[in-house]
């Protein structure tokens, strides 16, 4: 059964537009329930609105409709757009949403859920952390990258997020971020892209080889991570970077490929 969710935001000051989540409404078509934000700003951050925020968060458990909030929530509370939740049990969806709302709103890097870093940025940070980023290029264009090796197969293929190219071997990579609000949409898009690439890569037979890897970054509840593996393992090779052995092999693969040749400029 398909489950959807929508964040419930409080905007205490409409002039600045600063917002933070009180929680989220969740519907699987049969029941409407809610996940509550574990952290709310205190009086030093939003003044008298702090008490209001706590009261409104508690009221979320009384909401019975998914498409609107009771009038008692007032004019400064609004519903975000509905989003597709991970295809996991309802309890898992609630845990996943609570993990999404763990970030404190006084953290400049994540003051709102809508301003979190892009997948490509989070993937780049992973490579930088493990000191292999100089072998990894951004955005593989099948028509031009790696001397246009896939140019004849490029029709219908989207660019991948990252890649590493050696003299005779190509590694295409797309990160999966389990704690992104758009996780389910991301997962479907990545699975489709990985499947398309694997089909075309298998057709290439000119002394060079290529493979597609989806790597799951840390974060999110275990149920969401397992769901990602289930969806992707039939489409591409899947690496869970939280598993030491898998991460080490993945990083070693990047080094081995990257060291065989000067990596093409990402601009290519």
Nearest-angstrom CA–CA distance, 230 and 249: 20
In a domain, 85, yes or no: yes
Short-list 184, 207, 132, CA closest to 163 = 132
Residue 14 pLDDT > 80: no
Residue of 49 and 157 predicted with greater confidence: 157
In a domain, 23, yes or no: yes
* Residue 207: DSSP 8-state: S
Which among 70, 94, 115 is the end of a domain? Answer: 115
Let me know whether 131 and 250 are in one domain. yes
Nearest-angstrom CA–CA distance, 181 and 35: 14
CA distances from 87 to 187, 219, 226 (A): 11, 17, 11
Let me know whether 99 and 214 are in one domain. no
Let me know whether 252 and 224 are in one domain. yes
Let me know whether 50 and 146 are in one domain. no
The per-residue DSSP string of 117-185 comes to PPHHHHHHHHHHHTT-GGG-EEEE-TTTHHHHTTGGG-TTPPPEEEEEE-SSEEEEEEEE-TTSTTHHH
Nearest-angstrom CA–CA distance, 226 and 238: 11
Are 98 and 35 a contacting pair, CB within 8 Å?
yes
Percent helix / strand / coil, the chain, rounded to 5: 40, 20, 40
Short-list 43, 64, 264, CA closest to 170 = 264
Residue 160 pLDDT > 80: yes
Nearest-angstrom CA–CA distance, 130 and 128: 5
Range(s) of the domain holding residue 15? 4-115
Nearest-angstrom CA–CA distance, 101 and 235: 30
In a domain, 83, yes or no: yes
pLDDT at 115: 54
Q: Which two tokens stand for residue 260?
A: 């065989």
Which among 115, 145, 162 is the end of a domain? Answer: 115
Let me know whether 165 and 215 are in one domain. yes
Let me know whether 42 and 80 are in one domain. yes
Residue 179 pLDDT > 50: yes
In a domain, 168, yes or no: yes
pLDDT at 43: 78
Q: What is the pLDDT of residues 34-91, one digit of tens each?
A: 999 988 887 777 778 888 888 999 999 999 999 999 988 988 898 999 999 999 999 9
Let me know whether 125 and 246 are in one domain. yes
Interval 183-196 mean pLDDT: 95
Residue of 151 and 117 predicted with greater confidence: 151
In a domain, 268, yes or no: no
Task: Match 């939003």 to its residue by tokens.
Answer: 46
Reported as a pLDDT band with limits 50, 70 and 90, residue 103 is low
Could you report how far apart the first and last alpha carbons of the chain are, in Å? 44
Let me know whether 126 and 100 are in one domain. no
Q: What is the pLDDT of residues 106-144, one digit of tens each?
A: 443 344 454 567 899 999 999 999 999 999 999 999 999
Let me know whether 109 and 123 are in one domain. no
Which among 115, 147, 170 is the end of a domain? Answer: 115
Most confident of 93-102, 173-182, 201-210: 173-182
Residue 165 pLDDT > 70: yes
Let me know whether 164 and 177 are in one domain. yes
Short-list 136, 126, 185, CA closest to 160 = 136
Q: Using N-to-C axis directions, what is the helix angle for 183-201 and 222-232, rounded to 10°?
A: 30
Instruction: Please give the share of the chain, as a percent, with pLDDT higher than 70.
Output: 91
pLDDT at 105: 43
Are 15 and 77 a contacting pair, CB within 8 Å?
no
Residue 189 pLDDT > 60: yes
Are 55 and 41 a contacting pair, CB within 8 Å?
no
Say how many domains are in the chain.
2
Residue of 246 and 263 predicted with greater confidence: 246
In a domain, 220, yes or no: yes
Q: Is the pTM of this model over 0.75?
A: no
pLDDT at 74: 87
Short-list 165, 171, 214, 208, CA closest to 194 = 214
Let me know whether 123 and 254 are in one domain. yes
Nearest-angstrom CA–CA distance, 253 and 164: 10
Interval 150-169 mean pLDDT: 93
Let me know whether 144 and 62 are in one domain. no
Residue 162 pLDDT > 90: yes
In a domain, 265, yes or no: no
In a domain, 207, yes or no: yes
Cα torsion 37, 42, 45, 46: sign:
positive
Q: Which two tokens stand for residue 52?
A: 């209001």
């Amino acid at each position: 059964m398909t489950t959807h969710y929508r964040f419930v935001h409080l905007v205490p000051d409409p002039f600045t537009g600063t917002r933070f989540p009180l929680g989220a409404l969740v519907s699987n078509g049969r029941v409407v329930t809610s996940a509550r934000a574990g952290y709310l700003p205190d009086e030093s951050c939003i003044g008298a609105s702090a008490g209001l925020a706590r009261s409104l968060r508690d009221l979320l458990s009384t909401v019975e409709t998914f498409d609107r909030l009771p009038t008692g929530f007032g004019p400064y509370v609004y519903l975000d757009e509905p989003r597709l939740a991970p295809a996991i049990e309802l309890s898992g969806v609630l845990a996943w949403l609570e993990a999404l709302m763990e970030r404190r709103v006084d953290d400049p890097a994540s003051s709102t859920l809508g301003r979190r870093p892009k997948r490509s940025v989070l993937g780049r940070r992973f490579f930088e952390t493990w000191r292999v980023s100089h072998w990894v290029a951004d955005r593989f264009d099948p028509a031009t990258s790696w001397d246009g090796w896939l140019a004849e197969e490029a029709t219908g293929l989207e660019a991948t997020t990252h890649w590493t190219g050696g003299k005779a071997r190509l590694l295409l990579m797309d990160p999966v971020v389990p704690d992104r609000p758009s996780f389910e949409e991301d997962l479907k898009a990545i699975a489709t892209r990985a499947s398309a690439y694997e089909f075309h890569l298998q057709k290439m037979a000119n002394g060079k080889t290529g493979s597609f890897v989806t790597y799951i970054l840390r974060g999110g509840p275990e149920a969401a991570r397992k769901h990602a593996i289930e969806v992707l393992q039939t489409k591409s090779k899947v690496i869970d970077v939280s598993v030491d052995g898998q991460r080490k092999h993945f990083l070693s693969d990047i080094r081995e490929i990257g060291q065989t040749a000067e990596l093409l400029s990402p601009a290519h």
